[in-house]
Amino acid sequence: MRLKLVTRLVVLLVLAVLVSLLLELPFFWRQFYPLRYKKYIEEQAEANDLDSALVAAVIKVESNFSPRAVSRADARGLMQLRLSTAREVARGLGHTVGDDFPDKLFDPEYNIILGTRYLAQMLRQFNGNEILALAAYNAGPNKLRSWLEAGTWDGTWKNRRQIPYAETRNYLDKVQKAKKRYHRHFNND
């Protein structure tokens, strides 16, 4: 009886060690945190002075790397850009915004060009504060400012539970978790 108990404990210990080793393998995490369009991500992250892991994390959370993704709010593509935001960013870059523009947002390279530019704009608007920039990217900069001005949220990571939108609270958590994983991708490749 005692031998069976010891055997079971040894088997459980060996399984625990194997699982912990598996969790450290890059191959394992790449199944949950894919990294597609790496070239575009790196190019545009550099062009906009952004962390490549942050851009990949935003894409993961926004669309799970699906270039044809469309949200309930009609945000489109990898970085889930709303048409009004995308048009504004495109015009700021000197791009022509024609009738085919909504469909261009499904092009991975073009979506990443516009999305990284917009994310960089949010970082500048909020003095480099990544948490505020991400909240603005998700909820909109005007909504974020209203929360800050009303004292609804103090703008800190620690007090993110004060954010009135559950979607934005969850978004911040998911992006930060994904960013840590993508740092490993970029460092191991």
Q: Please give the positions annotated as active site.
A: 62
Sequence-ordered alpha helix ranges (H) in the chain: 2-24, 26-32, 38-47, 52-63, 83-92, 101-104, 108-125, 130-139, 141-150, 166-188
Intra-chain end-to-end CA distance of the chain, in Å:
50
Q: CB neighbours (10 Å) of residue 152?
A: 12
Contact 172, 132 (CB under 8 A): no
Residues 89/96, Cβ–Cβ less than 8 Å: no
The C-alpha atoms of residue 162 and residue 146 are separated, in whole angstroms, by 13
Q: What angle do CA 109, 53, 68 make, to 5 degrees?
A: 35
